[in-house]
Amino acid sequence: MSEQPTRRDVLGHAARGAALLGLGGLGAYVARKGGLAGPWQIDAGLCINTRLGLVGLDACQLCATSCVLPLSAVRAVNDHAKCGRCYICPAYFDVKSALDEHGLPSGKLCPRDAIIRKPIGDIDPRDPANNYYEYVIDETRCNGCGLCVLACKEPAGLTSLRLEVRYNLCTNCNRCSIAQACPKNAYERRPARTT
Amino acid sequence: MRSVTLGLLVLCSAVTLGARARADDWPQFRGPNRDGISRETGLLHKWPAGGPKVLWTTDACQGYAAAAIHSGRVYFEDYDREAKEYLVRCLTLADGKELWRFKESKTLRPNHGITRAVPAVDGEHVFTLDPKCIFHCLDAKTGREVWRKDLVETYKTEIPPWYNGQCPLIEPDRVVIGVGGDAVLVALDKATGNEIWRTPNSEKWPLSHSSVMPATLGGVKQYVWCTLFGPLGVRAEDGKLLWHHERKFNVAVATSPLPIGDDRVFMTAGYDAGSVMVRVAKDAGGEFKSQTVFELTTEQWNSEVHTPILFDQHMFAVGKKQRGLFTCLDLDGKAVWTSADQAFFGLGSYLLADGMFFVLEGDTGMLRLLDANTTAYRELDHAQLLSGDNVWGPMTLSNGKLVLRDMTKMICIDVAGQTTSSSSSARGEAMGITALRAATTPGPTPRIVLCSAAEDRVPSATTADALRMGYRKVRSIDAKGEGPGQFADELRGLAIRGDELYAVGDSQVVVFSLEGKVQRTWKTGRPGTAVAVAPDGAVYVGEESQIEIFERDGKLRDTWRDADRFGLVTAIGFAGDAVLIGDVGDRCIRRYDKSGKFQANIGRDSHKRGFMLPNRHLDFVVDPNGVILVANPGQHRIERYSSSGDLLGQFGQFSETDPAGFPGCCNPTNIALGPRGEIVVTEKAAPRVKVYNSGGELRAVMGEAGFDPNCKNMDVAVDARGRVYVADTERLQIVVFEATTATSHSASAPASRESQP
């Protein structure tokens, strides 16, 4: 048998609710004043995998290995407007692997097989090596290791690949462990941009 | 009388021949001997004022297909994207007039360029292997097709990725090409196309972009070639495969084998394949065998696109490392010298003539003339002749005329000084660029002259001279503090109008007299990051995500917000009726009209899709002609754009040692213009101010150790007398420098950062 709430109970609940709201607002204010506004983002211009221009160097894989999540919140992103859509994409294929009878590398670069390759547009069956190919990141597999970003360099690559933090996955830690590890300080909090 | 006339004719001929010592055709890929060397002499070792004269320009589709030149005619392959027609074009070398064009309907999609191959010409026929691997023999006089061979149908050739890049080898009676599919190489009768021999392809090696090279190895004339599976040699007489050096190459082989004598062949390629020197010799049984003499990893040395040139028992080529260093290698593969700290050539091409290397910067289109020697990198001259990146097409030289191309055009320049120089403006029009040209007088320091078309030659100066020409510090305007007209935390932007100095930082604008006395102040909505004064006197303040526009007295006139286009505004300028906004967020300059309506982006079309701004700061200045000079710190250069966004030219390069270069990760950071067109820039890391003349020659360095070492992105402005005002971003001072007599200026011309009254 429940008792009817008293006037005192109602006022007490209201006061506690107001206090919680106030604390939340104060927290948000402090966070903003403390420079914590905005989600973590990667400045692609600073990312070492984007900047390194030499084939043969090792990729920095700290985005994949430093995140507190089991599968990092960082993903590779392919800018399709920039992508060369090549037959032999050095970010997709392990170009050092053995060649098949068509001269295509038999191995893939991505250790998690997270890039999907498919022909697009008009297909010229007489010339399959010059059809366009679309390279899409399978975000359920990608862990943001950056191997493909490092490989997408001229002359075959056009630097169309970059790493991004996925907001829906990122837990937005105050002290992001990847930011702590990043050798180029490419991580920073910035207001989310729509473009 | 008749004999006198004849004698005069002979004398005239002799004089003419004496002046033009020797001329050659360039009938095929890498020249008459397929070695990248022209035997012409009498070429200019120093170019005239404004650089070599541009004789003609013709549009070309995107690609790298270079010309072959025979008997005063230029032949090259091209593509008409609108009509979807593959073209072979024939122009006169003298004036670029088109004599004929061969057309064939063909659908070719851009795939890192479209055309790649160089025709071979014997005066009677033109041979081209088109992007889809159809081999054409054309009448050299008319362009009529004489015969053709479809390699896909005939040999089951697989067209390589990025289309065909192979250039046919022409011999007295035959033409030799690699085909892949059913045959490795084939020799075809020039007149009929009938097969003379074929090399069976039991291993099914695919067609590569490599071109066949003639060589004599082990006393036997051979044709050497390279596939993804390694270099090989076949007997020229019958096409028998004599040897194959098994070595895996990756993705594509664009270079060709280089025979260097002593039965050795050097092969280099990209995509981590490195380089290898192979010795080919007969064994006891008389069979040819190959063995590795040495190998080079990619970290040691390789070339990705172009084949080295053998000269004076050394190999010369643009290496892949460090953005393309031109390198002299000995025949053991050791680098004797490189262009490090002096020039970076990307994947640019090169040729050798008259003791000089002509080398193109693949990322910029700058042509550099180098002394061919085995002791040191020595530059003789340079000129900005082409533009854009991917300037990778080979060059061609014949009769003192150099034909070269970028992704949109082919040009012919006079490198023998046979014709009188034109004005820079005329040449600029011909090239579609405003003159960006080489200095005119000799000097040991690499120099670039950047002039407006109307400008006359500028005086040259060596770095040592430049450093003697000084500026002296005349005062500091101390603006740090909590009081009125002082900055507590940040001093970000400067601008000058008339006798007033505008400064922004924190959330205020402070207007000083040029002597440093505070005139007035007002608040801004957000911390100011840039300031500029419009021709009508309005004060534009850049802030995060918005622009505030004030009247001269500080009354707010308008606020522009563009959520999609204003990230962080760090520079503002005016070009005619346009307002230019430097947006760090998207690394470009936004052009708006006076009402705040967006018009276009500038700088987004670059290879990097924007300016390279690791320091998160973008600065530019507009000259009185409306040309925009942008500091592109990640690329270590100053770039010039038209107000419509066309890249007009650039100067500057990375250097930690040469004061004329830009050091560190990202410099220069800020830029201003003086009344005589001098370009004033600031640098961070070791904060300093440098002054270049309008041509890009360093004239002065100041402030080293004079600023707080933590300063970065120090804004700079110049008044009508040429005095330089620099924001010390740590001490929150404005430091004022005045030119000494060597570079002092009259007060007759307005400063560019200062708006016109």
Q: How high is the pLDDT of residue B567? A: 78
Q: How high is the pLDDT of residue B280? A: 97
Q: Considering only the beta carbons, identify the residue of B160, B587, B608 that sits closest to A129.
A: B160
Interface contact B110, partner A, CB < 8 A: no
Residues A105-157 have pLDDT tens digits of 999 999 999 999 999 988 899 999 999 999 999 999 999 999 999 888 776 77
Phi, psi at residue B475, to the nearest 5°?
A: -170, 165
Share in percent of chain A as helix, strand, coil (round to 5):
25, 20, 55
Count of residues making up chain B? 757
The verdict on pTM exceeding 0.80 is no
Please answer yes or no on whether A43 and B616 come within 8 Å at the CB atom.
yes
CB contacts, 8 Å: B252 with chain A: 88, 156
Q: Cα B124 vs. chain centroid, distance in angstroms?
A: 35
User: Considering chain B, what percentage of its residues have pLDDT values greater than 90?
Assistant: 64
Please answer yes or no on whether B161 and A87 come within 8 Å at the CB atom.
yes
Residues B35-88 have pLDDT tens digits of 999 999 999 999 998 889 999 999 999 999 999 999 999 999 999 999 999 999
Please answer yes or no on whether A126 and B159 come within 8 Å at the CB atom.
yes
Q: Which residues contact B597 (CB under 8 A, 6 or more apart)?
A: none
Tell me how close the Cα of A118 comes to any Cα of chain B, in angstroms.
16
Q: What is the average pLDDT across B491-500?
A: 94
Q: Mutate which of B64, B228, B271 to test chain A, going by most A C-beta atoms within 10 A?
A: B271
Average pLDDT of chain B? 85
Q: Considering only the beta carbons, identify the residue of B132, B160, B347 that sits closest to A155.
A: B347
Residues A81-94 have pLDDT tens digits of 889 899 999 999 99
Phi, psi at residue A101, to the nearest 5°?
A: -70, -15
Q: Mutate which of A55, A83, A85, A93 to test chain B, going by most B C-beta atoms within 10 A?
A: A55
Q: What is the average pLDDT across B200-205?
A: 95
Phi, psi at residue B131, to the nearest 5°?
A: -60, -30
Q: Which of B752, B44, B72 is nearest to B403 (CA)?
A: B72
- For residue B391, the chain A residue with the least C-alpha distance is A155
Residue with tokens 């005589």: B676
Q: How high is the pLDDT of residue B449? A: 28
Please answer yes or no on whether B585 and A193 come within 8 Å at the CB atom.
yes
For residue B644, the tally of other CB atoms under 10 A from its CB is 12
CB contacts, 8 Å: B163 with chain A: 130
Tell me if ipTM is over 0.95: no
Burial class (CB in 10 A: 0-12, 13-18, 19+), A34: exposed
- The two tokens of residue A31 are 């966070």
Tell me how close the Cα of B326 comes to any Cα of chain A, in angstroms.
16
Q: List B residues 277-306 in contact with A (Cβ-Cβ < 8 A).
A: 297-299, 304-305
Measured between its terminal Cα atoms, the distance across chain A in Å is: 58
Phi, psi at residue B324, to the nearest 5°?
A: 90, 80
Interface contact A154, partner B, CB < 8 A: yes
Residues A29-52 have pLDDT tens digits of 655 544 456 889 998 888 888 776
Interface contact B109, partner A, CB < 8 A: yes
Residues B679-707 have pLDDT tens digits of 999 998 788 999 988 878 888 888 765 78
Q: Is the dihedral of CA B98, B102, B107, B109 positive or negative?
A: negative
Which among A98-102, A136-140, B541-545, B622-626 has the top mean pLDDT? A136-140
Interface contact B585, partner A, CB < 8 A: yes
User: Considering chain A, what percentage of its residues have pLDDT values greater than 70?
Assistant: 87
Q: How high is the pLDDT of residue B271? A: 87
CA–CA separation, B731 and B590 (whole Å): 31
CA–CA separation, B96 and B358 (whole Å): 21
Tell me how close the Cα of B77 comes to any Cα of chain A, in angstroms.
19
Q: Considering only the beta carbons, identify the residue of B158, B251, B347 that sits closest to A95.
A: B251
Q: How high is the pLDDT of residue B443? A: 32
CB contacts, 8 Å: A85 with chain B: 111
Give the C-alpha distances (Å, rounded to integers) separating B563 from A45, A194, B673. Answer: 22, 8, 31
Give the amino acid at B747. A
